[in-house]
């Protein structure tokens, strides 16, 4: 971690960051510049797409169904060539509506560093109507 990163995070321990990622209501996976899965969080509510320790160190292409590998590869190639800054998909199944987003990550020199995948079950979010403000009473 460089000096500016230390200032930004105030010396926040890595263990704390990992707990924060696990507390988020989203699945997060990181694929490094060589297309290798190097991290995924373990949200308390469970993951939309199951990951195991065996996925760490595996090529991301091996973590997707064969029929979609060419799409995954195109996204990674476009990120590496800086042809796009995100890729979004959504799918329905088993009573859930999943929103899947991919983002390229670049280092401080603008070089491709890897890809961040974020998946969220937005089924309940899609049902929201009107507004609820921070100070509104809870209905529970």
Is 70 part of a structural domain of the chain?
Answer: yes
The CATH number covering residue 46 comes to: 3.30.450.20
CA-based angle 117:122:128, to the nearest 5? 150
Range 104-114 average pLDDT: 97
Rg of the chain in Å (alpha carbons): 17
pLDDT at 81 over 90: yes
| pLDDT tens-digit readout, 20-58 | 999 999 999 999 999 999 999 988 887 887 787 889 999
pLDDT at position 105 is 98
In a domain, 29, yes or no: yes
Domain total of the chain: 1
């Amino acid at each position: 971690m460089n000096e500016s990163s230390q200032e930004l995070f105030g010396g926040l321990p890595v263990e704390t960051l990992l707990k924060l990622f696990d507390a988020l209501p989203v699945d997060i996976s990181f694929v490094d510049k060589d297309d290798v899965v190097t991290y995924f969080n373990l949200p308390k509510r469970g993951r939309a797409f199951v990951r195991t320790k065996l996925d760490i160190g595996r090529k991301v292409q091996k973590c997707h169904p064969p029929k979609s590998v060419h799409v995954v590869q195109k996204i990674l190639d476009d990120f590496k060539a800086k042809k796009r800054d995100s890729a979004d998909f959504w799918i329905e199944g088993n009573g859930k509506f999943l929103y899947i987003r991919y983002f390229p990550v670049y280092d401080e020199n603008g070089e491709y560093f890897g890809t961040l995948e974020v998946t969220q079950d937005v089924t309940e979010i899609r049902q929201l109507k009107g507004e609820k403000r921070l100070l509104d009473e809870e209905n529970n």
